């Protein structure tokens, strides 16, 4: 079975891509039949006792079966202190992970499922990594949550001080961090890549004071520009922001354009979205509600684009351009992305989960420059000069 899957994966890089996007019913039937046979290979099923799935505290029950796996924090503890922001954020990210994974699985033509990997971190906490690989629609899709505690390493403290955090340099600072992060690399070049991350952070200072803040964002990386898609994506995010503050979207849209910039190439990674960090106002409740709205806007902003383009025909030229743009994605993540750096700096870092964002396949071609009037050239004009979409 491994050999079969590997062969199909390799063939899909070339001629197989051309065959699978033709209108021929025989080609489509072969692929669907093969995919259904392979779907069970990567599925992971969790079996729990009734009490483990539905723990009770004072008669209140939590249905953990709706999540991708058991929460990192004991379910009874989550129920016992529901007002604790750490617990509220963990429940939120578990829900976002499960809803997004199931929405993506529903778009797979061949029934491919996420592989679920629940892991624990010796230094404190753990996470749940969900990866769908070699799907018919998604070549690689990763949706992670992490709930970790420990002491901030010096490199992380220095990074936060550079952002204006009032933290003592050289001191051992206890921290708590939780978040959900996803990167989706589709197979069809007409379907864009999406990335989102929503997180909550607490640090205890040397004086015993607690500092907290939220961060996150959602951004889109198309390989071919569809202005209607771009407008839909940005309008959905704007609507989520406008529920809380009309100044949020323009502020965080510009922040996103500036952040996801591949400076050494003077081009953006994609067409942006929203990005923010260090949100600690007007109060914790309001900040949490804002982050919740943004996280819940991911599915309506993205899944309609997948459904619209996933079965479009494409050829080898489109595939090679997709691989080149994925190379740019890798460059940004490994050189500039703050979350990647923080993860790698953190003791006990789980590198497989941190580097989950990288695509299965990418390409670097020496001095490649698309023709300005080509479809690829049209995308490059927007990447060089970000524009407003709503």
Catalytic residues: 195
What's the rounded Cα separation, in Å, for the pair 288 and 85? 8
Beta strands in 45-157 (DSSP E): 56-57, 60-61, 115-120, 125-133, 138-152
32 backbone dihedrals φ, ψ, rounded to 5°:
-60, -40
Q: In the structure encoding, which two tokens stand for residue 343, read together?
A: 């993860």
Residue carrying the six token digits 């939120």: 92
Number of alpha helices (DSSP H) and beta strands (DSSP E) in the chain? 15, 11
Task: Compute how many other C-beta atoms are within 10 angstroms of the C-beta atom of residue 47.
Answer: 6
What's the rounded Cα separation, in Å, for the pair 390 and 379? 18
Residue carrying the six token digits 């080898």: 316
CA 151 to chain centroid, in Å, comes to: 25
Cα atoms found within 13 Å of the Cα of residue 172, Cβ hemisphere only = 4
What's the rounded Cα separation, in Å, for the pair 266 and 199? 28
Q: Find the Cα–Cα–Cα–Cα dihedral 314, 318, 319, 320, rounded to 10°.
A: 160
CA 164 to chain centroid, in Å, comes to: 26
**3-state class (DSSP) for residue 65:** helix
- Dihedral sign computed on CA atoms, order 233, 234, 240, 243: negative
What's the rounded Cα separation, in Å, for the pair 30 and 229? 31
Length of the chain: 390
Q: In the structure encoding, which two tokens stand for residue 69, read together?
A: 């796996």
- CA-angle at 263, arms to 327 and 324, nearest 5°: 15
Non-local CB neighbours of 266 within 8 Å, separated by 6+ positions = 384
């Amino acid at each position: 079975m491994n050999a079969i899957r590997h062969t199909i994966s390799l063939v899909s890089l070339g001629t197989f891509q051309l065959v699978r996007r033709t209108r021929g019913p025989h080609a489509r039937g072969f692929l669907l039949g093969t995919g259904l046979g392979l779907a069970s290979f990567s599925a992971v099923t969790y079996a729990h006792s009734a009490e483990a799935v539905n723990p009770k505290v004072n008669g209140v029950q939590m249905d953990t079966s709706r999540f991708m796996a058991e929460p990192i924090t004991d379910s009874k503890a989550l129920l016992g202190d529901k007002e604790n922001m750490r617990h509220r954020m963990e429940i939120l990210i578990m829900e976002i992970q499960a809803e997004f994974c199931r929405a993506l699985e529903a778009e797979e033509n061949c029934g491919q499922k996420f592989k679920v990997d629940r892991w624990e971190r010796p230094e404190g906490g753990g996470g749940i990594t969900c990866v769908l690989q070699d799907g018919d629609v998604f070549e690689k899709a990763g949706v992670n949550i992490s709930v970790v505690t420990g002491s901030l390493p010096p490199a992380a403290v220095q990074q936060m001080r550079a952002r204006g955090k009032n933290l003592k340099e050289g001191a051992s600072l206890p921290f708590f961090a939780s978040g959900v992060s996803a990167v989706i690399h589709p197979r069809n070049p007409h379907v864009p890549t999406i990335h989102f991350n929503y997180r909550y952070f607490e640090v205890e200072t040397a004086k015993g004071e607690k500092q907290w803040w939220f961060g996150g964002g959602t951004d889109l990386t198309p390989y071919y520009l569809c202005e209607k898609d771009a407008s839909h994506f940005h309008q959905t995010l704007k609507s989520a922001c406008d529920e809380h503050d009309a100044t949020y979207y323009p502020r965080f849209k510009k922040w996103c354009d500036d952040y996801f910039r591949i400076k050494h190439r003077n081009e953006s990674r994609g067409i942006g979205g929203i990005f923010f960090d260090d949100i600690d106002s007007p109060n914790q409740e309001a900040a949490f509600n804002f982050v919740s709205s943004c996280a819940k806007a991911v599915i309506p902003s993205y899944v309609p684009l997948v459904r619209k383009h996933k079965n479009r025909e494409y050829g080898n030229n489109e595939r090679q351009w997709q691989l080149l743009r994925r190379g740019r994605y890798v460059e940004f993540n490994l050189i500039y992305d703050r979350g990647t750096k923080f993860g790698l700096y953190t003791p006990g870092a789980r590198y497989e989960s941190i580097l989950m964002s990288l695509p299965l396949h990418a390409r670097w071609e020496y001095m490649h420059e698309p023709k300005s009037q080509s479809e690829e050239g049209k995308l490059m004009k927007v990447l060089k000069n970000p524009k407003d979409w709503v």
